[in-house]
């Protein structure tokens, strides 16, 4: 009698289980449908993501620059990978320095997306490991900057950001990352507001601001050199009135970096300057892109 009761209970339990599964199946409900992936499982990929590329660009002779124990608050580097050796040189001079977060400003090359300032809260896969996003800082930045929007699909396609992720992870293995691409329609006031917001956030964290910006475009080498000298002079003298007139691919990024550096009482020091005509050995090229690297150092 006891066995029969046990069998009945088992049969009844199985019947309820099967009925429940049929109900779930009939309504096409999946457990995974109700679970959003964690942000740390969502990733972008650095481009390039090949360790051989980095081995090559770091193999060139590099200039070193003395900082005289001054604090480095910001820097400027190109994103055109023809200048990969200059990018490596820029980051190599920063090796061994300790920052909590690297904030990267670059142009929104394709004027894509809805927001004037676009970021992503995804992490980044690089040949040197995963570069973690500073989601907390992005959240705080959003309270200061009304034009900030999180649009991962847009940011992932812009080489002003993807080109730098691997270098940043290699140079600052313990730092977190905040990428920002800026619309060309951002005006002077909005660039200044961004600089003020970044300054506020830097009071409680060790932050390095980097501009991923190429300089002269569509000029021959001689004209590119001339334009670059004007740009460098304006940056060195903090001539804010001329920034939006310079031959650079993101005046808003350079303006924000200059203003942030001025707040920090920093001065600009050039590391290198070249262009694609010179680097490719095609000095008669009539449509070159030029590159400037340098650092803003404070007390």
**Is 252's pLDDT higher than 90?**
yes
Give residue 20's pLDDT band: very low, low, confident or very high (50, 70, 90): very low
pLDDT computed for residue 38 by the predictor = 62
Compute the distance between CA of residue 79 and CA of residue 86 in angstroms, rounded to an integer: 10
Q: How many CB atoms sit inside 10 A of residue 279's CB?
A: 18
Give residue 27's pLDDT band: very low, low, confident or very high (50, 70, 90): very low
Q: Where are the domains of the chain?
A: 2-34, 39-298
Residue with the larger pLDDT of the pair 7 and 195:
195
Rounded to the nearest integer, the mean pLDDT of the chain is 90
Q: How far is CA 214 from the centre of its chain?
A: 14
Give residue 24's pLDDT band: very low, low, confident or very high (50, 70, 90): very low
Compute the distance between CA of residue 66 and CA of residue 54 in angstroms, rounded to an integer: 24
**Is 62's pLDDT higher than 60?**
yes
Give residue 299's pLDDT band: very low, low, confident or very high (50, 70, 90): confident
pLDDT computed for residue 284 by the predictor = 87
Task: Say if residues 181 and 155 touch (Cβ distance below 8 Å).
Answer: yes
Return the minimum-mean-pLDDT range out of 22-31, 43-52, 127-136.
22-31
Q: pTM of this prediction?
A: 0.87
pLDDT computed for residue 12 by the predictor = 41
CATH of region 39-298, choose from 3.20.20.70, 3.30.465.10, 3.40.830.10, 2.60.40.1220: 3.40.830.10
Compute the distance between CA of residue 285 and CA of residue 203 in angstroms, rounded to an integer: 46
Compute the distance between CA of residue 167 and CA of residue 190 in angstroms, rounded to an integer: 29
Read off the tokens for 291: 């590159």
**Is 17's pLDDT higher than 50?**
no
């Amino acid at each position: 009698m006891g066995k029969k009761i046990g069998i009945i209970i088992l049969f009844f339990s199985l019947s309820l289980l099967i009925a429940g599964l049929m109900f779930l199946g009939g309504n096409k409900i999946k457990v995974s449908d109700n679970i959003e992936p964690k942000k740390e499982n969502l990733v972008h990929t650095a481009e390039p993501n090949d360790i051989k590329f980095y081995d090559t660009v770091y193999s060139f002779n590099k200039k070193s620059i003395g900082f005289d124990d001054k604090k480095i608050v910001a820097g400027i580097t190109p994103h055109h990978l023809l200048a990969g050796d200059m990018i490596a040189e820029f980051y190599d001079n920063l090796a061994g320095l300790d920052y909590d977060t690297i904030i990267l400003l670059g142009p929104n090359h394709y004027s894509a997306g809805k927001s004037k300032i676009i970021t992503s809260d995804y992490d980044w896969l690089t040949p040197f490991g995963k570069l973690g996003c500073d989601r907390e800082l992005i959240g705080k930045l959003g309270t200061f900057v009304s034009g900030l929007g999180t649009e991962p699909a847009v940011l992932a396609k812009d080489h002003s950001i993807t080109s730098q992720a691997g270098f940043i992870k290699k140079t600052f293995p313990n730092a977190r990352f905040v990428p920002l691409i800026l619309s060309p329609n951002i005006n002077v006031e909005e660039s200044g507001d961004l600089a003020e917001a970044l300054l506020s956030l830097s009071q409680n964290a060790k932050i390095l601001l980097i501009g991923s910006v190429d300089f002269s475009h569509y000029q021959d080498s001689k004209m590119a050199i001339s334009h670059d000298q004007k740009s460098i002079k304006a940056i060195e003298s903090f001539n804010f009135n001329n920034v939006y007139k310079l031959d650079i691919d993101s005046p808003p990024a350079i303006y924000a970096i200059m203003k942030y550096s001025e707040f920090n009482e920093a001065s600009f020091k050039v590391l290198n300057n070249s262009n694609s005509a010179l680097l490719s050995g095609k000095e008669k090229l009539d449509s070159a892109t030029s590159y400037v690297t340098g650092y803003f150092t404070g007390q």
